[in-house]
Every structure is written in C-alpha cells, then in structure tokens.
Amino acid sequence: MRFLVLFFLILPVIEIVLLIKIGSEIGVLATLGWLLLMIVAGVTLLRVQGTASLRQARELMSAGQQPTAALAKGIFVSLAAVLLILPGFATDLIGFLLLLPPLQQLLVKRWMKNAQVSSHFYQTGRQGNLYEGEAEPVDDAQSRPAQQYLPRGEDDLRR
C-alpha cells in the first residue's frame, strides 16, 4: 500500500520529465500526436473491452461456470485502457505492458490467489436461536381485535 501511494506521488514528476525529454527529441507536434493517439486508443479499448468482458462473463455464468478469471482479465485490460487515456509516456508503457497476455495471466493468478486467501474468515460464538415453523397469511381485518371502550369514568387515573 505504501508503495502504491509513493508511486502515485512520483508518477506526475516522472511523466513531466519524460514529456520534456521525449518532446525535445521528437518535437512538440509528434508528442501531442502521440498523446492524442493514445487517448483515442484507450477510449476505444475501454469501450470494446467493457462490452466484451461483460458478454464473456454472462456466457460463463449461463454455462454454470464462475466468471472470476474472465472478469479479472477484463479489469486488467480496462486498467490498461485507462492508463493509455492518461497523458504521458510512463502510463502508456505500463498500459501496454498490462495488455500482454503472459503478464495478464500472471497478474490474474496472483490476484486470484490473494483473493482466495483473503476470502477465508472465521466466525466464533453463538449465532442466536433458530426458530422453524410455518406461517399462514392472515386477513388484516381478522387480525385486529375489535376496539372496546371502558365505561365512562373507569379510565380516570386521578382517583
């Protein structure tokens, strides 16, 4: 967790340095063209991948299988698309790396392993009483007792 916070604090500095260095080498227009191209690619990938991963998960669920791996892969591809949308060369590189199938499989396996470990829990102590029985619907008019009135003066508590 600390690594992730540090990464997001340092990432803007890395992106600015890379934009200046690469922009001075290839030119301003080429740099802007690259950034716009990556934004379009990221948006397209996000749109296509979002519907494809949902469709695949639905097919797996209808076949009676768990869609966990397919959804995890969809999450990593969506993360890659978001990284491509963010302006900068470092985020583009990380986004491209996340699109590689061997890295996706490695990350999905690792994520699934961590998810299985963290999903185990222990419960101790009594859970309370369990009452079993049957219920029958009752008409509301039948369930309410008729109102009875006390004779005048009997409800006076000031006596």
pLDDT at 95 over 60: yes
pLDDT of amino acid 81: 94
Task: Collect contacts of 74-83 with beta carbons under 8 A, ≥24 apart.
Answer: 74/49, 74/50, 76/104, 76/107, 76/108, 77/45, 77/49, 77/53, 77/104, 78/46, 78/49, 78/50, 78/53, 80/45, 81/42, 81/43, 81/45, 81/46, 81/49, 82/42, 82/46, 83/42
Q: Would you place residue 57 in the very low, low, confident or very high pLDDT band (cuts 50, 70, 90)?
A: confident
Sorted by where each begins, the domain ranges of the chain are 12-117
pTM for the structure as a whole = 0.65
pLDDT at 7 over 90: no
Give dist(CA 84, CA 98) in Å, integer: 10
Structural contact between residues 84 and 95, judged by C-beta atoms closer than 8 angstroms: yes
Tens-place pLDDT, residues 97-108: 999 989 988 887
pLDDT of amino acid 13: 94
Task: State the virtual CA torsion across 15, 16, 19, 23 in degrees, nearest 10.
Answer: -170
Residue 71's SS3 state is helix
Number of Cβ within 10 Å of residue 76's Cβ equals 20
Tens-place pLDDT, residues 107-123: 878 877 776 655 455 55
Q: What is the mean pLDDT of residues 7-18?
A: 92
